[in-house]
Amino acid sequence: MEHNNAYDIEDTIIFEEEDGTETEYNVDAIIEMNQKEYVLYSNDDEMLISEVVSENDETFLQEISENEVEQLIEAYEKAISEDQ
């Protein structure tokens, strides 16, 4: 599944469905790993991690593998624990 929604990395990401419904997510973290950039975002119902992809002056989110999700969560938890 690929989210083809352009966005700027700010405090929120809003996805608009084909029927016009909007879902808002809070940006929790931007993570750089293996020369790629990922965004961790959540709302009251779910937490998601996607790769930030830029092509032809457009930025969109792309779904990542379970393995990448696990690596990113480990890196995020390590960074959080080091900050405390």
Instruction: Name the DSSP letter for residue 9.
Output: S
CA distances from 82 to 36, 75, 76, 78 (A): 22, 11, 10, 6
Please report the domains of the chain, with CATH numbers, ordered by start residue. Answer: 2-83 (2.30.30)
Rounded Cα gap, residues 22 and 12, in angstroms: 12
* pTM of the predicted model as reported, rounded to 2 decimal places: 0.73
pLDDT confidence bin for 10, thresholds 50/70/90: low
Rounded Cα gap, residues 52 and 37, in angstroms: 5
Q: pLDDT, tens digit, for every residue of 22-57?
A: 999 999 888 888 899 999 899 998 989 999 998 998
